[in-house]
Structure 1
Amino acid sequence: MSALSSLEQARRIAAAAAEKLADDIVILDMRPVCVYTDFFVLATGRNARQTKSIYDEVYAQLKADAKLTPRATDGVREAEWIVADYLDVVLHVFTPETRAFYRLEDLWGDVPAVELEAAAS
């Protein structure tokens, strides 16, 4: 178990994604509506190669710094929509087309977002 709070995990994930130049990084606070996770971190890569690179960076940083690895992953091979379940935080990395199609921000539009400036600090 990690010593990081779920919010700290979400912030680290967002910062690692930003290091790989992810676009449209959003942290959604899922606690009011969801029992299986506290936060979603959404990020977009310009193409499948960058999407995979963003995921790889998040994976490497959390494993090295906090000894965290995802409980489950999906979509890593195709890299159109990669989901990494860190239990308290779920990372979603999309290509632009996939993010526009699924529109998770609209689906979960009632949940609060964590300010990105706070996430990157």
Structure 2
Amino acid sequence: MDETRQWTAEAARAAAGKKGEETVVLDVGDLFGITDAFVITSASNVRLVRTIVEEVDRRVKAVGGPAPYRVEGTDDARWVLMDYGDFVVHVFLEEARRYYDLERLWADAPRLEWDEHDGRAVATRP
């Protein structure tokens, strides 16, 4: 999980660095056996969604992380899902994020606090 936390923190920093808004990391591993963490962020327009997706991919690879197994939603870019196996990155348009409200759906998941300048991610209760 240490590498996964490093990669999720880097994905969160990458999103925030490209104007991703309200970027959060949820530790869903105990609630959802398929993956360990969700990175959730939003953008104000489609072009910015695509920019964030490209930056997340570049930065995760730059710290030794994997390439995503699959990326879905890039055509309309309202909700792009990047599946890295151990973690999943969700990049939403603001209105799509409000509609799907993953934070409410996964409200029992601890948030992983990530530092904008540091590779550490620490679990906290919501």
Which residue, out of 34, 46, 49, partners 1:48? 46
Residues 1-121 of structure 1 correspond to what in structure 2 (within 5 A)? 5-66=3-64, 68-116=66-114, 118=115, 120-121=117-118
Shift of residue 23 of structure 1?
A: 0.3
Shift of residue 21 of structure 1?
A: 1.2
TM-score by length of 2: 0.87
Cα distance between partner residues in 2 of 1:29 and 1:37: 9
Query: What percent identity do the matched residue pairs reach?
Result: 34
Shift of residue 34 of structure 1?
A: 1.1
Between 67-76 and 22-31, the greater mean CA deviation after superposition = 67-76
CA contact (8 A) 1:81 1:98 kept: yes
Q: Which amino acid aligns with 1:102?
A: Y
Cα distance between partner residues in 1 of 2:38 and 2:15: 13
For residues 21-48 of structure 1, give each alpha carbon's deviation from its aligned partner in whole angstroms, at most 9, with x where no partner exists: 1101000001110111100000001111
Cα distance between partner residues in 1 of 2:58 and 2:74: 14
Partner secondary structure for residue 8 of structure 2: helix
Shift of residue 18 of structure 1?
A: 1.2
- Aligned residue pairs total 117
Cα distance between partner residues in 2 of 1:13 and 1:47: 19
5+ residue gaps, structure 2, are: 119-126
Shift of residue 67 of structure 1?
A: 5.1
CA contact (8 A) 2:7 2:65 kept: no
Cα distance between partner residues in 1 of 2:73 and 2:105: 20
Q: Flag the structure with higher helix content.
A: 1
5+ residue gaps, structure 1, are: none
Shift of residue 65 of structure 1?
A: 3.2
For residues 53-83 of structure 1, give each alpha carbon's deviation from its aligned partner in whole angstroms, at most 9, with x where no partner exists: 0001011122233152100110012110000
TM-score by length of 1: 0.90
